[in-house]
Structure 1
Amino acid sequence: MGALAWWHWAIILILFVLLFGAKKLPDAARGVGRSLRILKAEVGAMSEDKKDDPASAVVIAPPAATGMSAAQLSPNAVEPIEPAQPLHSAQITINGRPLDQN
């Protein structure tokens, strides 16, 4: 198998004309062209926004320059949380009565 030969493209073109009709194909092609232009403009605007965004230009100084250790700068350096205490049966109530008294 390789690339499509000219006769493959001719068969595909004939099938499109038969399926969609000769009047709808130019409209469909025009719609695809407009969509591609809009997509290209939006992608260009996104790249412009990233270039102009001052937050993307922020440089974080290394820990030695700030006098802080790497553990103090790490967002994952959080004090551990004590595990939750298990519930006792006396703590669970139904209609105001402890669960053991049902």
Structure 2
Amino acid sequence: MIGLPQGAEWLVILAIVILVFGAAKLPDLARGTGQALRIFKAETKGLRDDDDDEKSPPPAPPAATELPPTPPAAPVENPVEDRQADKNNG
């Protein structure tokens, strides 16, 4: 079985990377890798948060408060009908 690289193996891997990409492009390569890892971590955290939200019970609805009874409204006379009655009588 192949395990993780040890000290000297890392040096060989680094030398191969420098030969393939060149020393000038290594900072850009590292920057791009870091950004990709940050995006990946943010997305996986968002997925975990979404899963936690789905597992938690929905919030309880607010308790209903009973309003006090209102007194019956007094009958309102319609002024339009009064004018029509005045026209007919007068």
TM-score (norm 1): 0.47
2:38 is the alignment partner of 1:37: yes
Q: Which runs of 4+ in 1 moved over 6 A?
A: none
Shift of 1:25: 1.0
Shift of 1:49: 1.1
**Structure 2 unpaired stretches of 5+:** 58-90
SS in structure 1 opposite 2:5? Answer: coil
Aligned CA distance change for structure 1 residues 43 and 5 (closer, same or farther; 3 Å): closer
Measured on the aligned residues, the alpha-carbon RMSD in Å equals 2.0
The count of aligned residue pairs is 56
Give the counterpart letter for 1:35 in structure 2: A
| Separation in structure 1 between the aligned mates of residue 47 and residue 3 of structure 2, nearest angstrom | 37
| Larger helix proportion of the pair | 2
Identity of matched residues, %: 43
1:13-59 Cα shifts (integer Å, max 9, x gaps): 11111111011111111111111110110111111111122xx457x
SS in structure 2 opposite 1:18? Answer: helix
Higher relative contact order (CA 8 A, sep 6+): 2
Match of 1:21 in 2: 22
TM-score (norm 2): 0.52
1:50-82 Cα shifts (integer Å, max 9, x gaps): 1122xx457xxxxxxxxxxxxxxxxxxxxxxxx
SS in structure 2 opposite 1:4? Answer: coil
Give the counterpart letter for 1:28 in structure 2: L
